[in-house]
Homo-oligomer: A and B are copies of this chain.
Amino acid sequence: MPEGTTLISSDLCAMPFPVHPPTHAECTGAMRSVRDALDLLGGKWKLPIIVGLSNGPQRFKQLQREVVGITAKMLSKELKELEINGLLTRHVQADTVPVAVTYTLASYGKTLFPVIEALHQWGQQHRTHIMHPGAAAMLEEAAG
């Protein structure tokens, strides 16, 4: 595993002497957790890569074809970060030539499925919402 990078950045609520009285959503609620998650999953590629691995292990080039548009450099970089954070594992099979490198979603990575699912559902609904507004109005009413 490569050397470590960031783990948590927004430790606002862990400060010994809070600078200001914590506001409603700040320390009580979802704000901090959401930002923690975003620190790890933010950027253009991390989630798409995880989606690409969700149907089973993939080799590098294979994965690059799956995640359309990503360059080898970015894929390599993102894979390293995801591995550091324990979301996937990298396995090198040295007996073949050239060596076969396989990336597998770790069990911890699979805990992201609910997040992926939610984003997937929303993104899908958003597309129809844009294409013909009013079609998704029922959904809104339910939530409104």
- Using a CB–CB cutoff of 8 Å, the interface residues on chain A facing chain B are 7-8, 12, 20, 23-26, 29-38, 40, 42-44, 47-48, 51-52, 54-55, 65-69, 107-108, 110-127, 129-130, 139-141, 143-144
Contact = CB atoms under 8 A, between A and B. Distances in A.
A51 B25 contact: yes
Contacts of A52: 25, 31
Contacts of A127: 8, 33, 36
A33 B120 contact: yes
B34 A110 contact: no
A23 B66 CA distance: 6
Contact of A123 (B12, B26, B35): B35
Main secondary structure of the interface of A (DSSP, over half): helix
Interface hub of A65, A112, A117, A122 (most chain B Cβ within 10 A): A122
Contact of A65 (B23, B107, B112, B121): B23
B130 A111 contact: no
Given A40-B126, A120-B33, A123-B32, A111 B143 contact: yes
8 contacts: A23-B66, A25-B55, A30-B119, A33-B123, A34-B119, A36-B123, A38-B123, A40-B126
Contacts of A32: 123
A143 B24 CA distance: 33
